[in-house]
Amino acid sequence: MNLRTEITNMASDRASAANIVRQQTLKNSIHCSGVALHSGAKVSMALHPAEANSGIVFRRTDADGGSEIQALWENAIETPLCTTLVDGRGNQIATIEHLMSALSGCGIDNAVIEVNGPEVPIMDGSAAPFVFLIECAGVTVQDSPRRAIRILSETSVSEPHRTASLSPGAGYTVGFEIDFGDTLIGHQEWFTEVTESAFKRDVSRARTFGLVQDVEKMRAMGLARGGSLENAIVVNGMEIMNEEGLRYSNEFVRHKVLDSIGDLYLAGGPIIGHFQGDRAGHALTLRLLNALFADADAWEWTDLTLGNAAVAAQIQPERAVAARA
């Protein structure tokens, strides 16, 4: 190898290193409190910075001996109407999907979430309060490269009247379809690219929702005891019971997209590919992740770079400057 070739290779290596997208965590700790949607209990929560490569970790500060649960699909269990993590001793953290969606949408790779109960507070029923907390805490770039799960071939799961799939794509996109028949919700479809700006503008404010006739059934099951018009859209036939109305004309399907983004973040990193849900819920999305990771040929880890088409789906332009540093 001659001197010119060595210089060329060194320059190429420096350019490659400069283009690597770095992991991010919170700059400061931040606290909040609120009502748990299903138990109705008052909950306090704190979001803390975390070391690079540590991922998203939940801690139950009220559990005997402490409880720490990595936010990964393999630690999740199927529960009605929410996403739940469980440790080896049976300690649970439920209703994590809106917070996980905000962490994904804001590009937070590493954080410690402390909760003094078995459920994350519901706040206003959307991801927007969590986005606000993240912005108030600030975001800092870390030294380690950011890694993503690239989808190499289609994986699909289904049950009667419901399907969910992941397929290859250049960036991160989500499509969803719902059908609530003869109600105001009706049939809705929506598609979005998951960029930080699009998430905040088009997804984060979409609230959870339910039908008035289902409320008593849920409460009989021990669910939705903290639900109210302050944290959910309630539909009675062709009428919305919330005085302020909707935040988006198709807020219902947008919330399903919000849920999907949060559930998919249990993969352990951002997705490079397309998710499509047809009347899917938390349980089916969890089964999809199980099916994906059971097939080693369907996915791969890849470092994100500024030249990677998927980067546009993960960081804001102003963050790219910090990623180069």
Q: Are 183 and 235 in contact (CB under 8 A)?
A: yes
Give per-residue burial for 304-316: e unless 16+ CB within 10 Å, then b.
bbeebebbbbbbb
Given the residues 38, 98, 274, 282, select the one marked as catalytic.
Answer: 282
Query: Annotated catalytic, 161?
Result: no
Q: Are 97 and 207 in contact (CB under 8 A)?
A: no
Cα–Cα nearest to 233, from 243, 218, 221: 243
Q: For residue 287, what are its two tokens?
A: 């089964």
End-to-end CA distance of the chain: 30
Helix 251-264 and helix 282-294: axis angle, to 10°? 40
Tell me how long the chain is.
325
- Residue 22 pairs in a beta bridge with 145
Cα–Cα nearest to 290, from 89, 102, 78: 78
Residues 295 and 163: their CA atoms lie apart, in Å, by: 18
Residues 164 and 156: their CA atoms lie apart, in Å, by: 6
* CA-atom Rg of the chain in angstroms: 20
Residues 67 and 62: their CA atoms lie apart, in Å, by: 8
Q: Are 2 and 308 in contact (CB under 8 A)?
A: no
DSSP letter for 36, please: B
Catalytic residue positions? 282
